[in-house]
Structure 1
Amino acid sequence: MLQLRLLIDNEWSDAQQSRTFPVTNPATGEVIAQAAEASADDVDRAVGAARSAFERGEWSEREPDDRADILLRVASLLNERQAEFARLECLDSGKPIRETSTVDIPYSIRAFEYFANIAREVKGEVIPVKGKRVLDFQTFEPHGVVAAITPWNFPLHLFTRAICPALAAGNTVVAKTSPMTPATSGLLGELLLAAGMPAGTINILHGGREAGEALVSHPDVRMITFTGSEPVGRSIMEASSRSPIIKKMILELGGKGAFIADADCDVEAAVASVLVGFCLTQGQVCCASTRLYLHADIYHDFLDRLVRRAESLRIGDPLDPKTQLGTLMNQAQLDRVDQAIRVAIGNGATLLTGGKRLTRPPLDKGFFYRPTILEVDRNDLPCVRDEIFGPVLTVKRITSLDEGVQLANDTDFGLGAAVWSRNVTKLFRAARQLDAGTVWMNMNLMSTMEAPFGGNKNSGIGREYGTMGLREYMKVKNQMVSLEDEASDFYTDSDT
């Protein structure tokens, strides 16, 4: 069984009072690891190590090329063990190995490569000052200690999305994994040490609420990056406000993604796209397409094809390469999904397919749930308003693209939205009107390391990925120097 200890100051250690918790495979219920459970004292040790490391300058003052070399070494080591990490991610999260081996681990490798290389290109700027003999320039510097709290739905991918730009920018990091999926992020610590990361530069903790609250409120933490639910994001803002120093923050929170299919769209391609949109990772994706606004002219044909495709998806053992849908994360998540569907039906929604847990052996040991499609005629139902985080799609008929955009924007979230049409003018007009951090046109649910990703409204603040994402992990310093031979006296004799 895998033993996951805490990585603090380049040393593996047990938690205070030797507290541990089991890590289970959600597909089978089997315990795959025991993880050390960090306390507030462990958090204090880790933050202290990160602060000392930052102040020593072994990482923060190192040349970007040298930092890049170490990050690229981690990428190479992870690439060599890609199959091992993909299998462990599958066991840890319950998602199909076809996803972990083609999305989760490759994206994690790419994060190290991408941010290592673009950090070399960070440059300051000279600012012209009108009528003054002054040289004014700005530089970009690391914040200091960054606290990274990462979720369970993409355990390693979103872990590396947080730590890689933070490290590339010269910060030191204390990262807390999700207590439900700590395995691959914990194992990554071995590679970070093997690559030559200086002591205290990256510290990895496992644990729950106690560790999280201690981390975000710690006075020596200068920046927080968090991916997770809106309620937890709000609690992080509240807890961090109790610190004497206001912290920089990136929050990537919930979503309620809309998919608008206009009458002239490519129906077959759109059906395949929306299917991925609400079934990838069993719908446990913040930017999942969970609301389909479907034009009346193609309504029945589109739905017939979509229902057939959803019912044909192969659900089963996540380790089987043929499996297309794995398991929900745990019993609480399954109950939440099932309850949301029951409430929707009770409020007038029509169940077109799904709405059931799979109970045939051996799937009865996991939390497998059929892809579910609900037909609705209102936009104010809880199933349309609330993030369910499961393979659940609501469908509403529309008569125009403009109506679809209006309904899509009628939400407190604004993470992602998709619009489909063969008319380019209509596509761009809709994209401009949609209030979402990312708009996909004739595609869906794709993110690249090069492009910024984040949400509007209750979907969060700040951006990850890309040069903009790297800049989030840096503070701007403006510097001015006089070019005059002598300093001028602001107060002259005429003023007295």
Structure 2
Amino acid sequence: MKKFKLFINNEWVDAENGKTFLTYNPCTGEPIAEMAYGSAADTRKAIAAADAAFRSGCWSGLDVETRGQYLHRVADILQDRLEEFARWEAMDTGKPIRETRTIDIPLAIRAFHFHADNMKALNGKVIPVPGQPLFDYTTYEPYGVVGSIAPWNFPIHLLTRSIAAALAAGNTVVCKAATLTPVTSQMLAEVFLEAGVPAGVYNIVSGSGGVVGEELLASDEVAMVALTGSEEVGRRLMAASSQAKRIKPLSLELGGKSPIIVEPDCDMNGALNSVILGFCMNQGEVCVSTSRLLLNDAIYDEFMEKLVRRVQKIKIGDCLNDDTQMGSLISADHRKTVHGFVERALAAGGKLACGGHMLTEAPYDKGCFYAPTIIENVTPDMELFQEEVFGPVLAVTRYKTLDEAVELANATRFALGASIFTENIRKMYWLAEKVDAGTMWMNCATKSNIETPFGGNRNSGLGREDGVEGLLEYLKVKNHIWYMGEQYDNFFDFEDE
């Protein structure tokens, strides 16, 4: 069993109180690593190290080319260790290794490469000011210490999309590893060490969100905090930030309840596969899971028959089996939560099309497996229509007109993503304009790219990750006003003495 200490100022250190905790493979229930359990004092040490590194200029003072070279080196080392990281990510999360090999680790690698180059292409601008002899120009500056709070569903991918941008911008970081899935975040420290990144630039503390996260918000030395997590946690961070002595900008990527609208003129095979991907990938533990199927009445029966047949063929199994298509939910408690949503939906009038049960017989008896579930007759007043389940559960709602589809799509407090399937270009454009979402997928679902902005509207979050927009979240804009006239302003009409 692997053992990890905290990584502070380029050193592996025990938690101050000596506490540790175990992390488990959700597919087998077996412990896979022992982690140091960081305290508030440990977090303060990490913050102090990051603050000292930032103030010293050992990172922020480097030119963007040199910082980029470090980040490219981090990406290259991670590429060399891809298979190792993929195995640990699969074991820690319960997701299939085919996903960690092709999605999680490659996206983490791309994040460092992209933002290393992205920063080099970023320029300030000169702004003409009418009627005044002024030379006005803007520059970008890093905030300082950035606190990054990682989620448990994509522990390394969603951490690196945040810190790659923050580091490329010249900030230093203190990361809070997800308690349920902390391994690869800690392993990333080995990569930074090997890449020769200066001490204090990357610090990682594993432990309770209520302790480590609160300390990041309370500290006057932390200039900004980024979170990927639930709406509830996002609200707590906003409240805590407002009470802190230093008000911090927050980057919040929160929950979703993304709709997928399927029109009669769709490519049915593509729509079917995308619906399944949308609610079953990563066991449905995805913030942008397209977990609400809005299905046109004209193709409802045919589409549902084919959908159920395909879903029932999904290969569920151990995360390290190459042919596994869906793994285990993260924990027994979370599986109970998911099942509770299903039970309440059926009691409220939903109709079970398939699934709806825990998988507890061998070979699933040691893990936290749940059958992919489809529930029909879901109406906007039902909990399953409104709330994020974070599991492989699809809520199906019929509609007849495009106006009705738009109304249903926008009928939740979330607006993270939305998907549309139609072969009619004009209809596609109209729907994309009318549906409120941070990302619109057109004839696809749940795609996310490091090169393009990602984030939500309404209660799905604040700010954007990825793309140029994601980099700008970690930079301050400074305006410079240079008076170029022959004499200074004499607003009060003083005579020259």
Q: TM-score, normalised by structure 2?
A: 0.98
Q: Secondary structure at the match of 2:291?
A: strand
Question: What SS class does the counterpart of residue 174 from structure 2 fall into?
Answer: strand
CA contact (8 A) 1:148 1:224 kept: yes
* Equivalence map 1:75-224=2 (5 Å): 75-208=75-208, 209-224=210-225
Letter in structure 2 aligned against 1:128: P
- Cα separation, 2, equivalents of 1:196 and 1:491: 57
Moved more, 400-409 or 323-332: 400-409
Which residue in 2 is equivalent to 1:468?
A: 469
Instruction: Say if 1:5 and 1:36, in contact at 8 Å, map to a contact too.
Output: yes
8 A Cα contact 1:260 1:401, kept in partner:
no
Question: How many angstroms apart in 2 are the aligned matches of 1:149 and 1:195?
Answer: 23
Tell me the CA shift for residue 488 of structure 1.
2.3
Contact 2:345 2:382 in 1 (8 A): yes
For residues 177-227 of structure 1, what are the alpha-carbon distances to aligned partners after superposition, in whole Å with 9 as ceiling and x for unaligned?
101001011011001011111111110110112111111221111101000
Percentage of matched positions with identical amino acids? 48
**Cα offset for 1:242?**
2.2
Q: Distance in 1 between matches of 2:22 and 2:240?
A: 27
Q: Distance in 2 between matches of 1:377 and 1:193?
A: 51
Matches within 5 A, 1:255-294: 255-294=256-295
What amino acid is aligned across from residue 471 of structure 2 in structure 1?
Answer: L
Letter matched to residue 382 of structure 1: E
Do residues 403 (structure 1) and 407 (structure 2) align? no
Partners of 1:367 and 1:303 lie apart in 2 by: 27
- For residues 30 and 377 of structure 1, do their structure 2 counterparts lie closer, same or farther at Cα, with a shift above 3 Å needed? closer
- Tell me which residue corresponds to 1:298: 299
Counterparts of 1:313-332 in structure 2, within 5 Å, are: 313-332=314-333
What's the CA shift for 1:122?
A: 1.5
In 2, Cα distance between the equivalents of 1:315 and 1:402? 38
Cα displacement string for residues 213-264 of structure 1 (whole angstroms, at most 9, x for unaligned residues): 1112211111010000000111111122222111011000000000000111
Q: Deviations over 1:314-371 (max 9, x none)?
A: 0011101100000000011101100000000000000000001111223111110000
Q: Which amino acid aligns with 2:24?
A: T
Post-superposition offset of 1:450: 1.1
Alpha-carbon distance in structure 1 between the residues aligned to 2:321 and 2:447: 24
In structure 1, the partner of 2:488 is 487
Give the Cα separation in 2 of the matches to 1:12 and 1:493. Answer: 64
Q: Which amino acid aligns with 1:336?
A: T
Taking the aligned partners of 1:437 and 1:93, their CA distance within structure 2 comes to: 26
Q: Give the residue type in structure 2 aligned to 1:450.
A: E
> What are the within-5 Å matches in structure 2 for residues 406-417 of structure 1?
406-417=407-418
Shift of 1:403: 1.0
CA displacement, residues 406-431 of structure 1 (integer Å, 9 cap, x when unaligned): 10100000000001111101101100
- Aligned AA (1:372): T
- For 2:80, the aligned partner's letter is E
How big is the shift at 1:484?
1.4
Moved over 6 A (4+): none
Distance 1:248 1:52 in 2: 21
Question: What RMSD over aligned residues (CA atoms) do the two structures have, in Å?
Answer: 0.9
Counterpart CA distance in 2 for 1:365 and 1:234 is 35
8 A contact 2:378–2:384 mirrored in 1: no
> Amino acid of the residue matched to residue 73 of structure 1?
R
Q: Deviations over 1:356-406 (max 9, x none)?
A: 111122311111000000002521100111100000001111102221111
2:75/2:109 contact within 8 Å kept: yes
Task: Indicate if the aligned counterparts of 1:296 and 1:399 stay in contact, CA closer than 8 A.
Answer: yes
Q: Which residue does 1:24 correspond to in 2?
A: 24
C-alpha distance in 1, partners of 2:383/2:356? 16
- For residue 360 of structure 1, what is the amino acid of its counterpart? E
SS in 1 for 2:123: coil
Instruction: State the Cα distance separating 1:493 from its structure 2 match.
Output: 6.1
Instruction: Confirm or deny: 8 A CA contact 1:217 1:241 kept in the other structure.
Output: no
Q: Which amino acid aligns with 1:59?
A: W
CA distance in 2, matches of 1:331, 1:228: 19
Q: What secondary structure is seen at the aligned counterpart in 1 of 2:135?
A: strand
- Conservation of the 8 A alpha-carbon contact between 2:378 and 2:395: no
8 Å Cα contact 2:258/2:417 also seen in 1: yes
Query: Aligned pair 1:56/2:56, yes or no?
Result: yes
Structure 1 length as normaliser, TM-score? 0.99
**Which residue type is aligned with residue 374 of structure 2?**
I
Moved more, 102-111 or 213-222: 213-222
* Structure 2: 5+ residue stretches without partners: none
C-alpha distance after superposition, 1:413-461 (max 9, x if no partner)? 0000001111101101100111100010111110111110000011000
Supply the distance in 1 between the matched residues of 2:389 and 2:265 (Cα, whole angstroms).
30
In 1, Cα distance between equivalents of 2:263 and 2:59: 52
Alignment partners' CA distance in 1, 2:40 and 2:450:
33
Q: Give yes or no for the alignment of 1:424 onto 2:422.
A: no
Paired with 1:279 and 1:4, the residues of 2 have a C-alpha distance of 32
Query: Matched residue of 1:289: which SS?
Result: coil
2: CA distance, partners of 1:466 / 1:378: 36
Q: Is the 8 A contact 1:371 1:391 kept in 2?
A: yes
- Give me the whole-angstrom Cα distance separating, in 1, the residues matched to 2:3 and 2:446: 35
Q: In structure 1, what is the Cα distance between the partners aligned to 2:20 and 2:166?
A: 28
